[in-house]
Structure 1
């Protein structure tokens, strides 16, 4: 590959900072970070019920939108129309004498760019990237001719993966409909299916609160929310004493209850759990863990509506414990769990 050179980021991209105070009609073309998906460069959700408050960035169709707040979530998308974008993001445009316009979105979406950008995030609760730091980062770029060739190949691969993702989503809908058909809902379910509170099924052990001074490069990995969400965030390590209850081993079920609600089957090595994540101890009722994971996933949206806080959303433990999931007999649990694993193994092992 022919290398064109090494460039500072402000030699590669424009950071458009033009803003406006939204009027009512802007609610139809508003994009917030919540509309961007970490695993897709395409936008499928947009708009708000009312005009957003505060100044927002003006975006043009084709601009590359980058979530600078909590950048470890790796939210990058192409603006599908002219509109306004969250001030917690950046509106980026290519400098076409240095980077090809079709290659540019793939570059911003790449781990090469994102990993470097994430490292300069500042702040603990909501790490944010500042333009003054980002613009100084240096990146190596191939020649424009090579970029055009790469763009053609990368877009072909990306679009093929996007079609596969849509197939997976269709599979998800099939599984969801099968779940409802077999177990019903909390208000309407077969007589032989109970709906049981999460707090009556298991004990939920919260992780340890670590200070940045506790982090190191040796010892056991510390599991943080960003290590569960697939953001590619590197582990920090802890080499000290800890209560045995926060130790996590392969096969443990974990639930993040703050910032990003989710339920996961841990497949990594022995580790230590950070705060804001529960380890599930199935000490109350017999339940297939794979069935449990799927049943809890069906309740995440409901729990999100009950979440509290402005800076970091979280669900209160009492409300979490009182959330009910389907609890059929063991045979039905295993039958459904096997159906899910056959339909989409990545649900549990990805």
Structure 2
């Protein structure tokens, strides 16, 4: 999408000419401050802050002394590539590495426009390049003030800000709707499967094996010789989707390596986050012929017609929790065992038509949730295009 903007009236400025940093400090305990905002409370996908910590919860560090008020812009200077910029609608304190910012309208910058400027690709690229420190790079206040950009007249900023804030509010509405639909779907699945009176052992219906081990030296970005595309943990997303945009190609895999086909499911076998162990994925047709990593299971359903039924059984919250709890190891990486998985009894109507009917009901609900998620994705693309059109793309 191209905005085809006429920028002939826009003025080249430095950021330090049009913003000021608030450094007001208090003792949050003695002054009665109730909330604090840490970096983890600021999301990368939007500019509204809806999470916070409570002063006195034992998690707040000693540098949380800098006061912010509703409408001020908070910019997390540490690791600026994370794009943590937000506007709270409440008061509180932040630590020294989060800047509390105000636009200077008399110098030409609108407050409502500022958070989108600081979350633009062009600014984030500059901030990342100028950040100092290797372990926890930070954009210092001096370099931040030196950032140059083209500033529209106030009236144009107001139009842009109105549009971008409308997108922001719609995104929050969709996120809430998505969460409600996903929760309702999970509850429906749990209830429906719990009502099935008969069971079968999972190992009687499927064959499961982990992916092959290989070294980093065997992986290339592009196909080479006998290389095979391999899905790794980064390709299997926490939201249940499979991302094929960046797949590694591994050479020298044994001929016996199992490949994804129309009877396959993928499960996470090993992970440092217990909640991710057992996460199950339905690979798309375009992933047929791919292998999986040693941190994952490739499960083959004996009757491909039952693949979706088993997928939804494994995906239900109760089964997900059971797999997480069954992972071995008390610290570090947890591992799920094939033997344990094979021994699990799952709800199993003996009539294939009954299984098909259950999946039909589940997928009709899932389709509604998928529509909302698709709209969220389209909205994110639209937002990125708007920001690029107004502020320019990263060079």
Q: Distance in 2 between matches of 1:314 and 1:47?
A: 27
Shift, 1:30, TM fit: 2.2
Q: Distance in 1 between matches of 2:347 and 2:333?
A: 26
TM-score between both structures, scaled by the size of structure 1: 0.64
Question: Structure 2 vs 1, CA of residues 332 and 86 (structure 1 numbering), >3 Å: closer, same or farther?
Answer: farther
C-alpha root-mean-square deviation of aligned residues, in Å?
5.6
2:155 alignment counterpart: 145
Q: Which has the higher Rg, Structure 1 or Structure 2?
A: 2
Contact 1:16 1:92 in 2 (8 A): yes
Gaps of 5+ in 1: none
1:229-265 CA-partner distances (Å, limit 9, x unpaired): 79xxxx8887884758799999975759457966566
Contact 2:211 2:258 in 1 (8 A): yes
Structure 2 residue matching 1:157: 3-state secondary structure? helix
Q: Between the two structures, name the one with larger relative contact order (CA 8 Å, sep ≥ 6).
A: 2
Question: Structure 2 vs 1, CA of residues 155 and 180 (structure 1 numbering), >3 Å: closer, same or farther?
Answer: same
Once the two structures are superposed, the pairs formed by residues 81-230 of structure 1 within 5 Å of their partners are 81-85=90-94, 89-96=98-105, 97-114=107-124, 116-118=126-128, 128-131=137-140, 134-184=144-194, 191-192=197-198, 202-203=208-209, 205=211, 225=234, 228=237
Q: Report whether the alignment pairs 1:282 with 2:299.
A: yes
Contact 1:30 1:46 in 2 (8 A): yes
2:59 alignment counterpart: 52
User: Structure 1 residues 16-25 or 26-35, which shifts more?
Assistant: 16-25
User: Structure 1 residues 290-299 or 168-177, which shifts more?
Assistant: 290-299
TM-score between both structures, scaled by the size of structure 2: 0.58
Shift, 1:29, TM fit: 0.9
Contact 2:211 2:296 in 1 (8 A): yes
Q: Distance in 2 between matches of 1:258 and 1:138?
A: 42
Question: Structure 2 vs 1, CA of residues 175 and 130 (structure 1 numbering), >3 Å: closer, same or farther?
Answer: same
Shift, 1:63, TM fit: 2.1
Shift, 1:50, TM fit: 1.5
Q: How many residues align?
A: 334
Contact 2:44 2:84 in 1 (8 A): yes
Q: Distance in 2 between matches of 1:68 and 1:321?
A: 48
2:85 alignment counterpart: 76
Structure 1 residue matching 2:10: 3-state secondary structure? strand
Shift, 1:281, TM fit: 1.0
Contact 1:24 1:50 in 2 (8 A): no
Shift, 1:170, TM fit: 2.8
Q: Distance in 1 between matches of 2:340 and 2:136?
A: 32
